[in-house]
Each structure stands twice: as structure tokens, then as C-alpha cells.
Chain A
Amino acid sequence: MVKLDETLSLFQDLIQEMARKVRSMHCLAMQIMESGDKEKALQLIQLDEFVNRYEEEINDRAQDVLALLSPVATDLRIVIAGIKTASDLERIADYAKNIARYVIKNGPVAPCIRPIAQQIGESFLAMFDHTIEAYQARDVKKAFQIPEEDEVINRLLEEVHAILKEALKNQKIDDSIIPTVGLLRNLERAGDHTKNICEHLIYQEKGQHIDFD
């Protein structure tokens, strides 16, 4: 294996490692949305620091590859896409952190939307997993398909709106529940950034700029 292959392989391993950390943060976020466990929420906020350091490490490695190994063509795009992917992963981690902050401030998600909130969380995690699998396998076909999964998250979020509207109309709940919509919007935004990773993968492999928004 040439040195460049070896270095790029380690670079991509680091991105996958970062993705696994981000995933574990969102798993924790889903738990605390339901349990309202503030201890765990604090832990999650601390985890974000690790993820930030991963991004810095990836940027440093990218700089080394560019300065020392002069990559071109696909190799160069692996580095560029890697930097962008790390930046999106960092943002996705921020959304998990936002959920933790919400729970510390407002407690767990209201029981009436708990099931659908879990569904949104699970849909996001499935989409995220598929994206990281596609990144690992450098699977462009999957990268084109995955963004459709984001529609599921958007649809579920619309359902949440409808449920809350109905509950407010029937005075089953008070308007203190409204920030919950903001909480779930974090998952919707995390889905958008996951779509960005699919765009980066397509750019990496094909050199094409695709916009899924």
C-alpha cells in the first residue's frame, strides 16, 4: 500500500470514529428525552467537547496530507470531503447537546408526544447509520437514496405540529409544551446535516456538486 493510501485510510477511520461518538451522543439524547435524567444530560454536554477535538484532529490530519503528500483527483476530494464531513458531524453533535440543555431546563418530553419523538429519533439514527455505512463503503448509489429518508423525519415533525395544535385546541395541554417543537427541530436539523454528508460523499467519489435541499 502506498503511503498516501495508508494515510487516507487512517484519515477516513478517524472520521468514522468521530461519527460513532456522534451517534452515541444522539442515543443518549433519545434516552434523556424520555427519562429527563439531568446527570446523563450533563454527561452528554461534556461528550461534545470530545467531538469538537475530533474535528480539530481531522483538520490537522487533512493539513498534513495536503502539505506532505500532495494528493490530486479522488485523493484530494477525499481530504476536502473529509474536512466538510467532520464539520457536519460536529454540528450534528451540537444538536444532541441542545437536546441535553433542553432537558436540563424543561425536563423530559411531554408524554403526549413521547412516542412520536422516539420515532423521530429512531428515524434520524437509522438515516445517520445508513450514511456512515455508505461513507465507509464509498457507496454513491446509497448516498443518492439516503436523503429520501429525511422526508420521514420531516413528515413526523409535521405530525407533532398537528398533535400539539389539536391538544391545545381541546385544552388538553397548556402552551408550555410549545418549546418541545424546538427540541425536535434539533433532530430535523441533524437530518439536514446528515444529507450534507451524502452530498460530500458524492463529491468525493464523482466530483459532482449535488444539493439535496
Chain B
Amino acid sequence: MENCFEIENLNLYYGEKQALKNLNLSIRKNCVTALIGPSGCGKSTFLRCLNRMNDLIEGCRIEGKIMIQGVDIYDPKTNVVDLRTKVGMVFQRPNPFPMSIFENVAYGPRCQGIKDRRILKEIVENSLKQAALYEEVHDRLHESAMGLSGGQQQRLCIARAIAMEPEVILMDEPTSALDPIATSKIEELIEELKKSYSIIIVTHSMQQASRVSDDTAFFLLGEIVEMDTTRMIFNQPKDKRTEDYITGRFG
């Protein structure tokens, strides 16, 4: 199976402190990859490396390669805006822009230079449909996105990412602020979205990782202790530390 990311000897430092240590891994295309591990283990830091969200952090230094479609995203010639078009991101708390539902989704394509109202409408509708939100909001597209529920806002953020037609969607604990019903909708959506996109999700919920992902990487102290299919990780992990973590005996 094709890979969407190839990561080679990745090291990341916040000043003197090394936060990621010599990571080497491949992330499969059109699969859901879950990143698990205790707080501070580096999983979100790693996720943010994948679309260069760490660039703006002062004192942050990165070594190694992260290849997407054969191109190193840390190559000085890489255009970060293009990269973030390819690699979308959904955050822990839904963060819709204070504008209408329509404008939230149309924002990215507009920035890309699409002005034609008909094309924008088509993109917005398709994105909302893919994010399983269209049915719920089609009659109030021009109302403020801030009036949506938390779960709807998160799906709107997913629609906003989809509107850019990315290759990969990064999700940093996308359901941690949502109730079980909204969580279940997002999880169903992830299952559906992986047909078209590769998804990398950071989660603290072991059940969520086991329910939604195909592959799982267990992070500890900035290292990947084990990465395998989710089936193997949750049935027969090779490393005792992985087993201790997934069974709640860590520490």
C-alpha cells in the first residue's frame, strides 16, 4: 500500500530540550493512523510537524526529513501555504471563524483565488456533505457558524479542511470537547473520510483509537515505542510499555 508520509530521523528541539527523538516511520495512504501516548510524550508536537505548525514556535529546531509525495516538507524551497493546502488540520476545540457557515467553508478556496460564486457554492455544498453536516445546516448556510452546536462546529471545521481538497487531514484530539453523540458522528465521519483522505489523529481515548484507526503509534518521552496495525497493538503489543499503557497500568 502507498504511503502518504515517510519520516526519516526526525528530531525536534524546543531550545535545549529534545521533544522528538529520532523518529522513523511511514504513514499509510487512505488509512487512519492514531497517535497515542501520555501527555507530554510528543504526539501533538509530531502531528504539528506534519504541516509545519511548529515553525512559529520560538526556539523550535527540527532535524530530519518528512517526505510527502517525494518532497521534503522542510526543504527551504517548500511553500508552506501549499503544504497546508495538502495537509489540513482540525484542532481539539472547534474554532469556526466568526462568520457565516458558508463563508467558513468558502474561506480557503477564496484565498486560493476562486471567486466564481457558483463554484464556491458547489465546493461549500460538497464539503458540507462530505462532513455529514449539509442536511443539518442547508437552510441556514448564511447564518453565523457560532450558533452551531460543538459537534456541528467541529464538523464545520472538517468541512473547512476538506474544501481545500487536502491529501491528509490531521486531527488533534478532535472529540475531546464533544459529547458521546457528537463524538460518534465524528468517528463515523472519519471512517467515511478515509476513503478519500489519509487521516492522522491524536487521541487520549484508547477506545477511540481502537475503534477508528487502522494503524497506531505509541509515543513515550519523544520516542515511538511501537507502531503497528491497530489490531496488533490492541491484541498483542510487542512492547510491555505499550501493553501497560493501553491497559491503563502505566506509571
Using CB atoms and an 8 Å cutoff, list the residues of chain A in contact with chain B.
2, 4-5, 70-76, 207
Task: Give the interface size bracket for B toward A.
Answer: 10 to 19
Number of A-B residue pairs with CB-CB distance less than 8 Å in the complex they form: 27
Docked-complex contact A72 and B236, CB < 8 angstroms: no
Q: How far is the CB of A69 from chain B (nearest CB, A)?
A: 9
Q: How far is the CB of A196 from chain B (nearest CB, A)?
A: 21
CB-nearest residue of chain B relative to A3?
B248
Chain B binding site: helix, strand, loop or mixed by DSSP? helix
Q: How far is the CB of B211 from chain A (nearest CB, A)?
A: 11
Q: Given contacts A73-B237, A73-B247, could you give 19 more A-B pairs where the C-beta distance is less than 8 Å?
A: A2-B248, A4-B247, A5-B249, A70-B206, A70-B207, A71-B247, A72-B206, A72-B234, A72-B235, A72-B246, A73-B234, A73-B235, A73-B236, A73-B246, A74-B243, A74-B247, A75-B247, A76-B235, A207-B236
Name the B residues within 8 Å of A207 (CB-CB): 235-236
Interface membership of B210, Cβ < 8 A: yes
Docked-complex contact A72 and B210, CB < 8 angstroms: yes
Docked-complex contact A2 and B207, CB < 8 angstroms: no
Docked-complex contact B236 and A4, CB < 8 angstroms: no
Q: List 18 A-B contacts (CB under 8 A).
A: A2-B248, A4-B247, A70-B206, A71-B247, A72-B206, A72-B234, A72-B246, A72-B247, A73-B234, A73-B235, A73-B236, A73-B243, A73-B246, A73-B247, A74-B247, A75-B247, A76-B235, A207-B235
Using CB atoms and an 8 Å cutoff, list the residues of chain B in contact with chain A.
206-207, 210, 234-237, 243, 246-249
Name the B residues within 8 Å of A70 (CB-CB): 206-207
CB-nearest residue of chain B relative to A69?
B248
Name the B residues within 8 Å of A75 (CB-CB): 247
Name the B residues within 8 Å of A72 (CB-CB): 206, 210, 234-235, 246-247
